[in-house]
Amino acid sequence: ETGVTQSPTHLIKTRGQQVTLRCSSQSGHNTVSWYQQALGQGPQFIFQYYREEENGRGNFPPRFSGLQFPNYSSELNVNALELDDSALYLCASSPDRLLHNSPLHFGNGTRLTVT
């Protein structure tokens, strides 16, 4: 069984640019969540997608947007990058939309550096 995979693993961008991060969910998982983890902090919820629809959003501005595809893979897009967007971006998938009975399965993340 293939786990959650994210690409790229590392990325360096300049302030003001746009970035797209990609995630392949674990086989059979129809729910994908994205989290941002700044250095030394716990992950913070960005949003969740279920069957191609956004299903909850955290306290992030609209320049953070996402997509989920019919095969349940997902993208996170960030426009007008700011220095504070530098972080580890984690994708997680689950077979349970409500997350009540199954833990989230996380990928290894994409390390984004904005200069």
The Cα diameter of the chain in Å comes to 41
Residues 70-89, one symbol each (x = binds other proteins by CB under 8 A, - = not), give ------------------x-
Position 19, amino acid: V
Position 114, amino acid: V
Q: In this complex, which beta carbon is closest to other proteins, that of residue 7 or of residue 17?
A: 7
Residue 114 engages other proteins in binding (rule: CB under 8 A): no
Residue 22 engages other proteins in binding (rule: CB under 8 A): no
Interface with other proteins (CB under 8 A) = 4, 33, 35, 40-45, 48, 55-56, 58, 88, 90, 92, 97-109, 111
